[in-house]
Structure 1
Amino acid sequence: MRAAPITLRADFNPLALWEPGVRTDANGRAQAPVRIPGSLTRYRVMAVAVSGARHFGVGEAAITARQGLMVRPSPPRFLRFGDRFELPVVVQNSTGAPMQVELAVRATGLEVDNVGRRVTVPAGDRVEVHFPGRATRAGTARVQIAATAGARSDAAQMELPVYTPATAEAFATYGVIDTGAVRLPFAAPGNVLPGFGGLEIGFSSTAVIELTDAYLYLQSYPFEGAEHIASRVLANAALRDVLTAFRTAGVPDSATLAGSMQRDIQRIAALQNPDGGWNFWRRGEESWPYVSIHVAHALERARAKGYAVPQETLARASSYLRDIERRIPALYGPQYRRSLVAYALYVRDRMGEAAASVEARRRVAEWTPAGMPLEAAGWLLSVLADDPAAQAERQALLRHINNRATETAAAAHFVSRYEESKQAELLLLHSDRRTDGVLLEALIAADPRSDLIPKVARGLLAHRVRGRWASTQENAWALLALDRYFATYERTVPDFVARAWLGDRLAAQSAFQGRTTERSETLVPMRVLVSGDAPREVTLGKEGAGRMYYRAGLRYAPADLTLNPADYGFRVERVYEAVDSAGDVRRLPDGSWQIRAGARVRVRLTMIAPAQRVHVALADPLPAGLEPMNPELQGTGSAPPEPSPLEQTSEQWWRRSWFEHQNLRDERAEAFRSLLPAGVYTYTYLARATTPGEFVVAPTHAEEMYSPETFGRGGTDRVIVVPEPPR
């Protein structure tokens, strides 16, 4: 006789019920049906009653969800490719008699050893069982645990992310084919993990394929300041119509994109200051003019695409923009002020303010094109592009911009000069690539037949590294400009077949008919590429009418999963220290760290800046076997005090916290500072060892967020969490 299937618990929502309005009957009683989620736990029930303006009451009760046999997996919150861990599973017997329990584990994305176990659980007691496992594939891992004991059974399912290796590397080449084929020489990397990555081949009939990596960079950017969120909103708003048709890994579908946009818009709205502006990190701190204009720009783009943006938020932002000159601190020089005023006019024009064009004409006459930064000229040109009364100003701006272009036979770019480049980066988040994006959009709007436009587009694309530009600002403005470029200049209706060969073997084939943003993706696994008969070249070609765009990318991870320290503007180090007992943490002879499960650990980061740095981010990845301890949460407890938190800086030496903002996330800790004097800085936080195993720890990383080529990293670490000795 076939056994009945085991009911799988997969819904672990901590909120079992939320009823904002329940009416009582004639006897003053109210009922609300509750469907208990899969968690076997104690639920707190809270009720608040109101009648009229003067009567109210509050009460509490509890509901305990339990069953005779319960199985509870306790995986870490995340894993990294290459981690070895022990999956703790608690088996609980709530009956009055001992149970002999059969356990079975099934996993995808992980390799688990000894998937079947038999344990005896005493009456009214629990037993913890450990299943050794390995993270062998990046992505989402799923674990199912089933337990049976006679007629009783239970099962639970958990999901957790498995991040790519700390040493994962990727690069790609892009191109177009109008006729024929191209051959790309190919050599598989040596000493790599055969189970990770491979050769990625993508075809498209639209050049939007060129923007995918930059778009994904903004979606996965790790930091969450107002500017970073706004840049993501800009990318989503600009590319929404084409991205919803993409079918490529990492690009969200339309429903996910809509949900993500609304969450980002709500977060931005919650960060707005009473003056209508925004600080980088927190509400209630001084508004930054550039950040405020940029966030208002993002919200207006989102509103124009039909997303729900709070009207009061836009109204306050609009008032801030109209009063921008009074909002700019006195320390800003005239060039910075002009760029900010021009950007504010650009956003006001997008908001539909007719007065923006009138003021833009006045600013061109007052400043003259030669007296303003190039990106200010670009923003004003965009405002005046469709103004019939601004022909003279438009032509003056176009002459100035054309004369400032640096051209080659195939490409062009611009170099924008401010009085002090580091100050411009601090106050305006400026870079030359952002200027290219601003000017490309302006040229398309004001002079769409200009021969300079395709050159600037090619130059902007040529400055990508690994498919994207350097910062959130550069990626956001490049995406805005190139999306407009592709929509304006792609004329030919596609009707062709695209093919890819590895050596003489056909690897991919896709047909494109009519205008579509569909994209074909083929992954040749790394195990094929490193085999004995690996190809020496890749051939890409097409047959039929229209332009074919391609992307050929290689993604891999070195076999040793180790990165050495690097100093390109910062030096960073990390050590783990015991908190409660000196024996809880040990540095082993091979350099790895051994930590006792259950122990509290102080993570100490040291960052050295040899010169002044701006918009600095310090990020420290955690091993999967540790969980950060937020001191703001009740029950975390306190750690022994630090000897002295004073930092050794060349100025502002009296500061006790060098950072302006910090985050403690599941997988990393972060600290930020807008203007960082030269000096030595220490950052510490607490974590607790929770999961036994051997974990790869990505290096600590420090960078200038808007010049990420100025960075430093520590080395890759290994942390071994050993089980507590039996008591």
Structure 2
Amino acid sequence: KLDDADLKKGLERSISTDIQFLIAGQNSDGGWGWWRGSESENWLTAYALLGLHEAREAGYAVPEDRLARATRFLERWLTRTAELQDNATLDTRAFILYALSESGNGDESRAVELFDRHTLLDTDGRAFLLMALDNAGEGQRPRVQTLASELTARAILSATGAHWEEQAPDLRAFDSSRRSTALVLRALVRVQPEHMLLPQSVRWLMIAREIGHWETTQETAWAILALTDYMRASGELKADFSYEVALNDKVVLSEKATADNLSDPVMLKVGIAELLLEEANELIITRVTPSEGQSGMGRLYYSAWLRYYLPVETLKARAQGISVARRYEAVDAATLESLGAAVSTAQVGDVVRVHLTVNAPNDLFYFTLEDPIPAGFEVMDPTLLTTSHAAEAPGRERLDPDDSPFWYDSWTQSVIRDEKVALFSDTLPRGTYEYSYLLRATVPGDYNVLPTFAYEHYYPEVYGRSEGSRFTITPTAATE
């Protein structure tokens, strides 16, 4: 239940818009793909079904036929893959059976059949199957308890808490330790709300956050769902305690946590200039002894981050599984063909070709390339009537080991925005790729140029960036 009127209003508007977006993007076969009109994916369809079902349960208008079409698509996929025994397919079957059971269309017989092969499932598959069987009712309690025991045995204990990992991670399924831990937490909270590992797994998930969220949207979504279920089951919503924060022996914050303010995060910011430079800084967060009338109930969660910024021109290129290079080239004014010479200055009205090179030593999944557009420039979009006829669409090229170029047309989507050019590919085979587009200088000035950034969307630890730089646009006689 939301008591924040502004938050509630914003969510209602956003959810209504998202429902219409999903409905418009449903394919004729009942499924959804990554982009409107692209081939339907079984697991994307399961996520869409989950979202639309939850929206309808919350009182939003969702056409019943849209849910029915999605359900039929998933049931057809389950029939087609019934004989497959590979780990990825079985884990996907577990997720789809979970999604169907959540939406009120559970298939108990198929879930029982999958349980008979559950030793072939990885961690996330067992968590999904546990929840699907739990939704089937008390008759599946023995199987549910078996899966709960097996998940308990798979827990990895450390000083930071308890977490779970996949034994055979599937990059296409967004597998990660944070996602798996959230899924197991949600499963165990449902069937064993007093499980001894729950507080430890919550602690591990909270430590794994990065500035208020987890690394990917998948991890964040499942973590929020799991933690919400845990808060309901543990009674943490009845918080009634006090705490203090001290920095270098000085109390900088003293607060009370109650059921009324539990949803209001407390943010404390300290400038780097206020920190000790020649010695260690000591940050101490303490729960105060309950005062008279306080119950002391509830848990205190906190995170601390150090954020700093460097001059952009000092940023060096970095490769963490992907290497990226960027080069600005002068072009022939008449043909807009590259002259091959690298440039860092241009006059207002000049056209510059941006040449990006990406090297992927391994196959990449859900690849994203983002190239910030420097201030003072605009992209020459050939789809606009105001653009020169000599301009062509952004070019992309793959170079094979023999350096023989051929066109690579498997980019799923390319987007030109005011602030950046973005390129997406569901799967990018290993190799070296080149991508180019045109900019026109419009406003004189000396500008910072942020690095080009490439990464796997659901595995952002695999990334690469070019170096930062500066670009100068000089005025023409007419603009001075």
Task: Quickly name the TM-score band, shorter chain normalised.
Answer: 0.7 to 0.9
Post-superposition offset of 1:425: 1.1
1:665 is aligned, of 401, 417, 433, to: 417
Equivalences for 1:579-658 in 2 at 5 Å? 579-581=331-333, 593-639=344-390, 646-649=397-400, 654-658=406-410
Find 1:566's aligned residue among 318, 321, 326. 318
Instruction: Tell me how far 1:279 sits from its aligned partner.
Output: 1.6
Q: Which has the larger radius of gyration?
A: 1
Residue-by-residue CA offset, 1:272-314 (whole Å, 9 max, x unaligned): 211121222x222211222222222223233333344444432
**TM-score, normalised relative to structure 1:** 0.58
Taking the TM superposition and a 5 Å limit, the aligned residue runs for 1:135-534 are 241=1, 245=4, 253-280=7-34, 282-326=35-79, 334-353=86-105, 355-365=106-116, 367=117, 369-385=118-134, 387-408=137-158, 411-418=161-168, 421=169, 424-426=170-172, 428-491=173-236, 493-503=238-248, 505-515=250-260, 516-529=262-275
Larger helix fraction of residues: 2
Q: Secondary structure at the match of 2:478?
A: coil
Contact 1:586/1:593 (8 A) holds in 2: no
Relative to structure 1, is the Cα distance of residues 686 and 254 closer, same or farther in structure 2, using a 3 angstrom cutoff? farther
Q: Report the alpha carbon displacement of residue 506 of structure 1 after superposing the two structures with TM.
A: 4.3
User: 1:569-596: per-residue Cα shift (whole Å, max 9, x none)?
Assistant: 12111122334539x9999x9x982122
Structure of higher RCO (CA pairs closer than 8 Å, 6+ residues apart): 1
Separation in structure 1 between the aligned mates of residue 346 and residue 139 of structure 2, nearest angstrom = 72
8 Å contact kept, 2:98–2:132:
yes
Pair 1:536–1:291, CA change in 2 (3 A) = same
Deviation at 1:483, TM superposition (A): 1.9
Instruction: Identify the residue that residue 428 of structure 2 maps to in structure 1.
Output: 676
User: In 1, distance between residues paired with 2:167 and 2:249?
Assistant: 52
Name the SS for the 1:396 alignment partner.
helix
Offset at 1:723? Answer: 1.9
Q: String of CA shifts for 1:336-394, please: whole Å, max 9, x gaps.
A: 222222111111111122x43343233323x2x31322222211211222511112221
CA separation in 2, counterparts of 1:492 and 1:478? 17
2:293 aligns with none
Whether contact under 8 Å (1:585, 1:595) holds in the other structure is no
Counterparts in 2 of 1:256 and 1:327: CA distance versus 1, 3 Å: farther
- Gapped regions of structure 2 (runs ≥ 5): 291-295
Shift of 1:622: 1.1
| Partner AA of 2:27 in structure 1 | N
In structure 2, relative to structure 1, the CA distance for the partners of 1:721 and 1:456 (3 Å cut) is: same
The number of aligned residues is 467
Deviation of 1:642 (Å): 9.4
Per-residue CA deviations over 1:56-115 (Å, capped at 9, x if unaligned) read xxxxxxxxxxxxxxxxxxxxxxxxxxxxxxxxxxxxxxxxxxxxxxxxxxxxxxxxxxxx
Deviation for aligned residue 1:501: 3.7
Give the superposition deviation at 1:556: 2.2
Equivalents in 2 of 1:415, 1:502: separation in Å?
36
- 1:696 partner amino acid: N
CA distance in 1, matches of 2:356, 2:80: 37
Distance apart, 1:673 and its partner CA = 1.7
Give the partner amino acid of 1:319: R
Could you tell me how far apart the structure 2 residues matched to 1:298 and 1:256 are?
17
Q: How far, CA to CA, are the matches of 1:555 and 1:494 in structure 2?
A: 30
Cα gap change, 1:631/1:462 in structure 2, threshold over 3 Å: closer, same or farther? same
RMSD value, Cα? 3.5
**Unmatched 5+ stretches in structure 1:** 1-240, 247-251
1:167 aligned partner:
none
Question: Residues of 1 paired with 2:123 and 2:281: CA distance?
Answer: 46
Provide the C-alpha distance between the structure 1 equivalents of 2:383 and 2:389, rounded to a whole number of angstroms. Answer: 10
